């Protein structure tokens, strides 16, 4: 078999799958295209957050834990806003969980600081 014969046979072997093929692929444990894109997006968001946390750590190395946690909150809020238009609801809910957690931590920091000033 020559190389050109193999190329002629290639389009038939790589034709688009039918809807029933996609459904059977998903039922058999495969990942749909949307889930694959969401997974890639989730990995990119996690990478961006990791880079931001390392950057925040470098910035706040002498400033204290309060500044570090506040910078992390700012990073989570920025990433949530930048990725809002093209992230699936499931990923938005995960990011929102971290936003709420860091908002609680931020509120504790603010209350502690106010308590120190007033006390």
Residue 63: band (very low, low, confident or very high) from pLDDT cuts 50, 70, 90: very high
Tokens of 99: 């936003």
The alpha helices in 1-119, defined as continuous H runs, are 3-13, 19-27, 33-59, 65-82, 89-118
Encode pLDDT of 92-107 as tens digits: 999 999 999 999 999 9
CA dihedral 87, 91, 97, 103 (to 10 degrees): -30
Encode pLDDT of 21-36 as tens digits: 555 555 555 667 767 7
Q: Long-range contacts of range 31-34, CB-CB < 8 Å, 24 or more positions apart?
A: 34/88
């Amino acid at each position: 078999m020559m190389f050109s014969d193999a190329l002629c046979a290639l389009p038939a072997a790589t034709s688009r799958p039918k809807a029933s093929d996609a459904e059977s692929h998903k039922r058999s444990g495969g990942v749909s295209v949307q889930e694959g894109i969401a997974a890639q997006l989730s990995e990119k968001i996690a990478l961006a957050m990791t880079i931001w946390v390392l950057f925040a750590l470098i910035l706040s190395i002498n400033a204290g834990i309060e500044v570090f946690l506040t910078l992390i909150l700012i990073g989570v809020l920025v990433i949530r806003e930048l990725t809002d238009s093209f992230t699936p609801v499931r990923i938005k809910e995960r990011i929102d969980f971290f936003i709420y957690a860091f908002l609680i931590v931020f509120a504790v920091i603010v209350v502690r600081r106010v308590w120190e000033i007033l006390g």
